[in-house]
Structure 1
Amino acid sequence: MARIIIADDDEIVGEVACDALIAAGHGAGLLANGTDALNVIKNRKPDLVILDCNMPGLNGLLVLREMRNSIALNHIPVLVLTGRRGNSDEELARFEGADDYMRKPFDPDELVFRVEQMLAKHNRKPAH
């Protein structure tokens, strides 16, 4: 079971993602803005983070940048789950350090599959 934090200001999207991950046996919590998400990430050190790009306070890419600039957080895998459709949006997210990128609307089963792939890949990496 992985501990996963989801940051998305769309309550329905967040609940669908949370429910799918919990049904797959993971612990998942939902936050509605980037500022709260970053505080929880710093305090709880989750196994994986799912970020929406467009949120009040800090947007998902700013949260991602803060995580990648932090020695304590830069190893945590991040999936960006967003309604942004452009290729340049995905390139920017990956440039900021996203491990994976999914567009909304999304298939909950695909989300679980990708999260589990990311966790497996992360767990195979040697510790620093």
Structure 2
Amino acid sequence: MARIIYVEDDELVGAVVQQVLSAAGHIVGVINHGTLAFDTIAFKKPDLVILDQSLPGMQGVDILKALRRLPALYLTPILMLSAKGSEQAIDEAMGAGANDYLPKPFEPEELVRRVADVLRNNSFRREVTS
């Protein structure tokens, strides 16, 4: 079980992701505004952050870059989940420090698998750097 913050401005997509990941045993909070999300993530320090790219206030990749500059959060795993599935968008997010990138639309099973992979890989990385 992981504490996850999902940043998504589409209410329906947010509800679907929350339901899918909750059924997989995770606790998921959904935030619909980029600036609010950054402040909440910095305060709550979740186990995983899932970011959409296009958000009001602050874009997903900008949140990603800002989180990677915070010492308390630079190892927090971040999965981008976005309709922007171009090679350029993926390269930009991965270059900025995303742990994985899943384009929309997605299969629920694929999302659950990717979340598990990112959490497992991050757990190993934290053990190695400790």
TM above 0.5, one fold? yes
Q: Counterpart amino acid of 2:50?
A: I
CA distance in 2, matches of 1:39, 1:19: 24
Q: Deviations over 1:31-89 (max 9, x none)?
A: 00111111111111000000000000001011000000110111100000001121011
What's the % identity of the aligned pairs?
A: 42
* Partner SS, residue 123 of structure 1: helix
Equivalence for 1:74: 74
Structure 1 Cα separation of the partners of residues 92 and 28 of structure 2: 26
1:85 and 1:79 mapped to 2: Cα distance?
13
Partner of 1:102: 102
Unaligned residue ranges in structure 1 (runs of 5+)? none
Q: TM-score, normalised by structure 1?
A: 0.97
| Secondary structure of 2:90 counterpart | helix
Q: Given that residues 33 and 59 in structure 1 are in contact (C-alpha distance below 8 angstroms), is that contact kept between their aligned partners in structure 2?
A: no
Does 2:35 align with 1:35?
yes
Post-superposition shift, 1:18? 0.8
> If the length of structure 2 is used for normalisation, what is the TM-score?
0.95
What's the RMSD between the two structures over aligned residues? 0.9
- Alpha-carbon distance, 1:123 to partner: 1.1
What amino acid sits opposite 2:104 in the alignment? K
* Post-superposition offset of 1:14: 1.0
Structure 2 unaligned residues grouped into runs of 5+: none
2:62 corresponds in structure 1 to 62
